[in-house]
Chain A
Amino acid sequence: MSIDTRAEKPARLGGNLLGVTMLVVAFVVSLIVSTVNTLRIERPNETIIRIAHWQLEKGYREALDIAIKEYQRRNPGVKIEQMGVTEKLYNQWINTQLISGTAPDLCEMGQSNMLTKDEYTVKYFIPLSNLITRPNPYNANNNLKDTPWKETLLDGMRGGFREGLQEYYGVPTTLISMRLFVNRTLLKQATGSDALPETFGEWMAQCRAIREYAKKTGQERSLIPIVSCYGIQSIKGTYEVPFTSSYERELDLDLNGDVLPIETYIGYRKKQVTLQDPSMQALFRSMKMVGDQMQLGFSGMDRQTAQYTFANQRAAFLSTGSWDASGVAQQAETSGFDLAVIQMPLPAEDEEFGAYIRGRQNEASSNGAGVYGVYKNSKHAEQALDFMMFLTSREGNEILNQNSEWPPLTIGAKPSKLMEPFQPDPRGYNARVSLGFGPRVTQVINAELVNYFQGFAPFSEFERIYNEVILDPRRGGDWAWWNEYDLRRRDVRNKERVLAQDLALELITPGSRDPNRTRRAVLQQLTRYNGTDYLWLFRTEREADPFVAWKDFQPVFP
């Protein structure tokens, strides 16, 4: 049987022609759209720098715009475009941009693994060590003109340093600090005076007066003295150093000026520090007093609710960070109340707990925030870095931070009036007793201590549970010790990768690598002893064989 296909040929040809035509049209249209879009984005005749961040708090984008305008005025032909992306989306969005090779020239570092983990950082961002040791040209007309760029920032640019890579990969632009916001109008209504509390005793007296006022005015349920955006732990954090830094002399075994959690655990085992010590009791009881002045079940209050409560004058004191200051100030203005910002008041010498106070916690070692990295595939990396120089020059940093109402980071940059109380206070102490040794013990502390502060359980219950978990051979301090050992050992091994890379590239191209960086990595690796110092410490301080005590433990992080 034969089949005559001649009659079908014209029809198939017609169909093919139509298909081909449609394909060609689609291709041409796509080409035009794609070219137009590319030209719109890339604008080959202009130098466009894109800067991406997730700081959508009130005022930040406007402030960055003002800084951008000033930069563009000084650098005609350069255009900076900011891309504010909500915190919830930033992670996915930036990952896609990085993978597809279209990431912005400057990316705020954080939120995403690809912006925080060393293996991605090294792939997508430009190392800055060799660049930040030169003076910042935008400081040419002030007294920082000869100072290396890195040293012109209050944190020495530590906020942009990646220890695992021994390299700077970001430039911080601002500082952050926690403070107590006060509604002075409400304070005056409730207590008859708007005087700010100068001591812990005064603060608590004011809180009690507010409780009384609420009772008298029928607002017992709706008006509360204190709210906190980050729970009571953030408040307790600022009191730990004042109450417990005196333990440093006894507990700081390596004399490095700090008391590590492992050193606290050793001291706890030896009863050099106990939960019944007068200073520890003073810390817990004072925080219970603070908890009594917060709303019932305060651990369930989130950041937004706390801000809302304070903005609506349902609380006289709000504990939160500098990043919220601008928004809170605007809410105060809208609601018509006088706002003040203070550090957490400490007990005076002649007050209850005053005898246990050494001094306040210093903020000298705060790291800078708002860190931006320069994308490796940026077509204008040099210009992007130049913009970062401007943003962290004394003048540029003042423009950014005064307008966003954030604390400036550059030495000598003046804060806005609102930010003056947020400037880091370098005076005070740093060491503290750290009861939370390891994630499991910390989890118990966070849950059980808050129960006590909320009045849901007596202190004795917290003490019982804490002792149970910290002394538990399988999940307590000994486990945390093993975990520290394991992390230390892994850290040394991870450093070996970076070191090997550095040494190989130096072999291939002699003189291409910074020998200081290599020496620093060698030193840091050596002084971690592959973790064997923690084995020795266990043998000598716990007087037990670590390999027997830890024989069943498995790494948490594979």
Chain B
Amino acid sequence: MLVFVLGDGGRVKNLSICLILLSICFASRFAPAQDDLAGARVSLAELEWRGAIRRYTAILETAKPGSAEWTEATYGLGISHHHVQPPSSETISAAMRQYQQIIDQASDQRYVARAMMNVGRVHELRDYSEDVVDLAKAREAYEKVVARFPNDPIAGEAVLRAASTLVMAFDEPNYEQVKSGITMLEKWLAAHPDDALASVMWQYIGDAYFRPLADYENALRAYENVDRLGWTDQGNQGPWYWRAAQLAERFLDKPDIAAKYYAKIIMETPNSGKAYESMESLRRLGKPVPSSPLFETVAPSTQPAVGTASTQRSKP
């Protein structure tokens, strides 16, 4: 072909164009991986796992093992295989391989810690229909994170995940695992009261005491701690306020605490559907009823809940 092209003087120009295009392609292969990484990040941000797999695979063809590009691409490829749909044993195995590469070769310890956590996530969750959940292996993976990174913020998350593998056993009748999960978290919180996930942990502990243990005293204690720290799912904590109020009023004879949560429902979560009943409850308890912005704004044009319904009474 080259002879043929060279044989025709008019086609030398074509050859030049071909060579230029080829050299552009060749050069782009060795261009900084940053542009490709940026494209892969966009795929990640858009949850486009297949696109991310293509891009990260291409980057890894030239990235130097252990380099920053290699670490990001290997990790990105790992989570893309982990979450691409439809999942299969092959995609999950590929994800595990890439996580292991990060654990073995990456110098950035943040990636190593997160890859170790992800190994636990693979064991904990059922990823495809034949997948087998292995909570013991998951816990082992989380505990390894705590052991290797005891002073990093990820340690708290790993403890929470490890504890949850025990709590979710719901092992009636004695609930030994549930109790040991709670103990694990309470011990961590005693040593790390300011953990970034402390509020989440207390809420989780409260839920576990409430159900399956039916230990209402401790459930309320945990919820009080959440309330002190601030609720994580701000705006949606209404059902927990209601539960805390019910535990306090109906089961623990603590009307002051019940009143506190009823007032919070009225003031903080008036859209929860329980504000009106909270007002009734406060009246029943003989406590002051706070005014609610929602009721002040909307309710004046409406009629009381009990009794008649008409909003345009105009009986002659």
Contacts and interface: CB of A to CB of B under 8 A. Distances in A.
Contact of A523 (B168, B233, B274, B275): B233
A558 to B, nearest CB: 9
Given A258-B273, A412-B297, A532-B168, A198 B125 contact: no
Interface in B268-295: 270-277, 292-295
A364 B276 contact: yes
A342 B310 CA distance: 5
Given A123-B47, A255-B242, A493-B126, A346 B301 contact: no
B46 A427 contact: no
Contacts of A193: 316
Contacts of A429: 276-277, 305
B309 A346 contact: yes
Contacts of B16: none
Contacts of A532: 168-170
B200 A519 contact: yes
A17 B185 CA distance: 83
B157 A198 contact: no
A434 B294 CA distance: 28
A530 B124 contact: yes
B172 interface: yes
Contacts of A395: none
Contacts of B309: 198-199, 342-346, 360
Contact of B125 (A344, A357, A530): A530
Interface stretch (A292-300, A325-333, A416-424): A416-424
Interface stretch (B5-13, B22-30, B71-79, B141-149): B71-79
A550 to B, nearest CB: 15
B293 to A, nearest CB: 7
A492 B168 CA distance: 13
Interface stretch (A57-65, A83-91, A311-319, A496-504): A496-504
A195 B197 CA distance: 59
Interface residues of A, number: 77
Q: Is the interface of B mostly helix, strand, loop or mixed?
A: helix
B118 A427 contact: no
B299 interface: yes
* Residue of A412, A520, A523 with highest tally of chain B CB at under 10 A: A523
B232 interface: yes
A516 B310 CA distance: 44
Interface string A273-301: 00000000000000000000000000000
Interface string A331-362: 00000000011111110110000000111101
Interface in B132-155: 133
Nearest to B48: A123
Interface string A146-161: 0000000011101000
B232 A520 contact: yes
A19 B313 CA distance: 81
Contact of B302 (A156, A427, A533): A427
B121 A496 contact: yes
Interface string B43-62: 01111100000000000000
Contacts of A195: 314-316
B188 interface: no
A32 interface: no
A119 B303 CA distance: 43
Contacts of B124: 530
Contact of A364 (B76, B247, B273): B273
Contacts of B83: 496-497, 500-501
A484 interface: no
Contact of A424 (B46, B203, B298): B298
Contact of A342 (B72, B196, B211, B311): B311
Contacts of A497: 47, 83
Nearest to B315: A195
Interface string B248-276: 00000000000000000000001111111
B211 A426 contact: no
B41 A508 contact: yes
24 contacts: A193-B316, A196-B315, A255-B242, A255-B247, A340-B312, A341-B311, A342-B310, A360-B309, A364-B272, A365-B273, A411-B294, A429-B305, A493-B127, A497-B47, A501-B83, A503-B114, A508-B76, A519-B200, A520-B233, A522-B157, A522-B197, A523-B232, A524-B233, A529-B170
Interface of A: 118-119, 122-123, 154-156, 158, 193, 195-199, 254-258, 340-346, 348-349, 357-360, 362, 364-365, 411-412, 420-421, 423-430, 489, 492-493, 496-498, 500-501, 503-505, 507-508, 515-516, 519-520, 522-524, 526-527, 529-530, 532-533, 535-536, 539-540
